Amino acid sequence: MKKILKGIIKLLLILLLIFTNSVQGQLNIPENPKKIYPVNDYAGVLSHIQIQELNERLIQYSKKTSTEILISIVRDLYGEDPNFLASKWGNKWHIGKKYKNNGIIILLSINDKKISIQNGYGIEPYLTDFTTRRIIQKMKPLLKKNLYYKAIDISIKEIFRIMKNEYINKENKKNYFSKWNFVFSISIFLMMFFFICLCKKGIDPSLLNTLFLTNILFKKKYSDNEDSFDGFGEGGNFGGGGSCDNW
């Protein structure tokens, strides 16, 4: 009886161990944030300043080209395939434009020492499997030294260089300048009108400096509004290839 009881206990322990490993052996991709920023450091290996600097550069690049580059850093993959996970992440968060599919995911797993770069369908003609492998090879020496920021920095510089001016957001650029030219023209007209009125009424024209100051403040406010960031994730699809490696 005791032997049977011990056998049952051992079996239960084995089943419990298998169940625990199966539960731990999955990495659930986080739900889409309300506002998706380029850098998502779930492992805490980057400083706030480094994250801010990378975010600013990737946001500006996205505004210029419409291409969205997402950096995802996790502590562990729990046995997941990095290529599959990166591509799945890109699809879940819809990185890239809806009809351009021009999203790029750079996934780092710190404990596994694995990196994957995956592309949206629209990126494949420009960022091939071969070029992503070359980028990863340039990153590996830095990753081995735990220089994560420098490794990410060199990767996005290489992507900028390879992509060059693909997907230039000409429409947004045209709209921006047309709006600004209209606002600037109206501002100049109003300043001239008030200047003439002040001179006719005998009021000191030096008060015009106030108008110039107001115009500068308005210009800054307008620029700030133009530079607003709505977040990544506009309907892009993944599966355009990529590469992964250990470091």
Residue 191 pLDDT: 58
pLDDT digits (tens, 9 = 90+) for 165-201: 666 654 444 444 444 454 445 555 555 655 555 555 5
Under 8 Å between Cβ of 231 and 35: yes
Residue 224 pLDDT: 47
> What is the value of pTM for the model shown?
0.70
Under 8 Å between Cβ of 61 and 69: yes
The residue ranges of the chain whose pLDDT is under 70 are 1-26, 165-227
Residue 130 pLDDT: 94
Residue 42 pLDDT: 97
| Residue found under tokens 């169940």 | 19
Half-sphere exposure of 131 (CA within 13 A, CB side): 18
Q: Which of 40, 128, 121, 41 is nearest to 87 (CA)?
A: 121
Residue 240 pLDDT: 78
Q: Is the dihedral of CA 165, 100, 102, 126 positive or negative?
A: negative
Dig out the tokens for 222 from the structure.
Answer: 């307008």
Residue 221 pLDDT: 44
* Distance in angstroms (rounded) separating the CA atoms of residues 22 and 108: 22
Q: Which of 103, 99, 97, 98 is nearest to 120 (CA)?
A: 103
